[in-house]
Amino acid sequence: MGAAVRLVIEEKISLRKAVERTGIKFQTLQRYVKKQNTAGEGSNIRLTPNYACRQIFTPEQEDTLEEYVVICAKMCYGKSRKDLRSLAYEVAIIANQINIPENWRIKKKAGLEWLHCFMARHPNLSVRQPEGCSLSRATSFNQHNVNQFFNNLEEIFSRTPEFADGTRIYNLDETATTTVQKPKKIVAKKGIKQVSSATSGERGILVTTCCVVSASGNFTPPAMVFPRKNFKEHMLHGAPSGTLGLAHSTGWMTTELFVKVMKHVIRHTSTSLENPSLLIMDSHETHLSAEVIMLVKKHGVTVLTLPPHCSNKLQPLDLSVFFPFKSHYNAAIESWLLRNPGRPITIYDIASCVGVAFEKSMTPGNITSGFKKAGIYPFDKHVFTDDDFLVSSVTDRVFPEEPIDSYEVNDVEMETQNLPNRLETDHEGHTNETDDEEHTDTSDDKNDNKPEKMFISPKILLGYPKAEYLKQKGRRRKKKSIIAIDTPEIILLKEKAIEK
């Protein structure tokens, strides 16, 4: 544009010839030449379009929209593109009486063009496909549960300073290894709707693999539970050296089998009263039988349980080991199927695939990064920020008899108590003067006519998702992070066993 203007003014070329050379529209070039002549020779004029004159929200107001959308997404109640368009309409016309195009009033939501421009102006936002997260998992990871876990861990370190170097800290967890793998992406013809990959069955047969890793980067041989009445040695063909083989009709871990697993772990970690160790695991009922707790206490194993539904944040194996393990396991099954075309894989072939995956995934780097990310070793009780706990804030309920001291609620009462319901009557109260032609006024005139009042943000207008108070009906004891070898916990476990 600047070169075209100089051709006309400095080189005295006609507008039409300059248009032919540059490809700019005649009216556009004529307008900028006129602006340059009016400003005078040597003056600098703006040679780019001023799109802000038609912008609905100011940059500051759009920042509040962006902040609201990001926080809602972190709380697991994100806004879709359609929801964002409806939100922009409500904030603009219902709460703040901002001039908007007529198309917004007809459809009761912002236009697609506004959405595309808004996303372009805020590159931190993108449309993502979320993963499903159960309400139990989303709300159980809260500051109370996490602080209780780290307080227990800190107390264990004070009791046994030998654990502080990380060589005697272990994590135990089970994972499912089935005969049906998750197919990987392949190259196929473009446009085909259905692309298939060979598997051994529809659902597969379950073999449970129990893994134990150390904060120093080492791992112990796993334990595998096969879906059989009796275990046979040939089931472990190709498994990692020292693997413990077990059998149960369902292929799941049971209380009786877990006693054998703990003996296996104690033997391979050389744990004793003189050489104690710390074992971190989830609080599943198969792990916390009275027999297991008495066994570990006798051999110097301190058991610390994770808060319920928090393994995706606090379990080192879940954080950095099981994902690469499953990837290499699926690749091993696919390699086996390629070597044996037309033959389905059975439970007798799973051990060899587990052996291949173990060798590639159980690396010191993967293991130690999981302990570090969970804040277990090196010990960091502040590893999680307030953003990590936003999901649980949905169920931070206030008792009915307590006063609600909330900035958002007070602001809503102050700013919206006199707002009429304009969802149905807004369009009737506006004349044709607020049409798109009026919306082309300059930004200076627009700011002069705008009333000076506080902008009602989405946070004030709608607030964030909040659950209502629920009265506790049952007396079921909630699970929490515990030091399982402490005497009060052992008494509770024995009482629970007697009740069964």
Same domain membership, residue 162 and residue 105: no
pLDDT given for residue 474 in this prediction:
57
Number of H helices, E strands in the chain: 21, 6
Same domain membership, residue 345 and residue 262: yes
Is the pLDDT at 400 greater than 90? The verdict is: no
Estimate the crossing angle of helix 59-74 against helix 81-89, to 10 degrees: 140
pLDDT given for residue 426 in this prediction:
45
Average pLDDT over residues 146-168: 93
Is the pLDDT at 328 greater than 90? The verdict is: yes
List the single range of 87-96, 146-155, 356-365 with lowest mean pLDDT: 87-96
Q: Are 280 and 172 in contact (CB under 8 A)?
A: yes
Same domain membership, residue 251 and residue 384: yes
Nearest alpha carbon to residue 362 among 170, 176, 213, 241? 213
244-247: strand order across its sheet: 244-247, 219-226, 206-214, 169-178, 277-281, 301-305
Return the structure tokens found at 336: 């086996």
Average pLDDT over residues 217-245: 95
Same domain membership, residue 254 and residue 155: yes
Q: What is the pLDDT of residues 446-460, one digit of tens each?
A: 444 444 567 888 888
Same domain membership, residue 160 and residue 112: no
Average pLDDT over residues 330-341: 93
Same domain membership, residue 310 and residue 272: yes
Q: Determine the Cα–Cα distance for residues 90 and 104; give it in Å rounded to an integer.
A: 10
Q: What is the pLDDT of residues 177-195, one digit of tens each?
A: 999 988 888 899 888 888 9
Q: Determine the Cα–Cα distance for residues 465 and 428; give it in Å rounded to an integer.
A: 32
Query: Which domain-ending residue is among 393, 416, 450?
Result: 393
Q: Is residue 303 part of a domain?
A: yes
Same domain membership, residue 242 and residue 167: yes
Q: Is residue 7 part of a domain?
A: yes
Strands 244-247 and 277-281: unpaired
Q: Is residue 354 part of a domain?
A: yes
Nearest alpha carbon to residue 137 among 370, 372, 394? 394
Q: Determine the Cα–Cα distance for residues 381 and 374; give it in Å rounded to an integer.
A: 9
Q: Is residue 423 part of a domain?
A: no
Q: Is residue 486 part of a domain?
A: no
Nearest alpha carbon to residue 314 among 213, 215, 384, 365? 384
Is the pLDDT at 487 greater than 90? The verdict is: no
Q: Is residue 364 part of a domain?
A: yes
Query: Which domain-ending residue is among 80, 95, 121?
Result: 121
Same domain membership, residue 212 and residue 105: no
Confidence of residue 348 (pLDDT cuts 50, 70, 90): very high
Same domain membership, residue 23 and residue 74: no
Of the chain, the percentage scoring pLDDT greater than 70 comes to 85
DSSP output for 273-306? SSS-EEEEE---TTT--HHHHHHHHHTTEEEEEP
List the single range of 41-45, 424-428, 463-467 with lowest mean pLDDT: 424-428
Q: Determine the Cα–Cα distance for residues 175 and 318; give it in Å rounded to an integer.
A: 9
Average pLDDT over residues 375-394: 89
Same domain membership, residue 321 and residue 226: yes
Place of tokens 């805020």: 122
Most confident of 123-127, 390-394, 461-465, 474-478: 123-127
- 90 or 134: which leads in pLDDT: 90
Same domain membership, residue 255 and residue 168: yes
- 129 or 426: which leads in pLDDT: 129
Close Cβ partners of 428 (under 8 Å, ≥ 6 residues apart): none
Nearest alpha carbon to residue 249 among 225, 230, 228, 223? 228
Is the pLDDT at 430 greater than 50? The verdict is: no
Q: Is residue 33 part of a domain?
A: yes
Query: Which domain-ending residue is among 339, 370, 393?
Result: 393
Is the pLDDT at 231 greater than 90? The verdict is: yes
Q: Is residue 86 part of a domain?
A: yes
HSE value, Cβ hemisphere, 13 Å, CA-based, for 471: 3
Per the prediction, the chain carries an average pLDDT of: 84
pLDDT given for residue 412 in this prediction:
42
Structural domain including 93 reads 59-121
Average pLDDT over residues 484-491: 88
Same domain membership, residue 287 and residue 315: yes
Counting the structural domains of the chain, the total is 3
Q: Are 26 and 15 in contact (CB under 8 A)?
A: yes
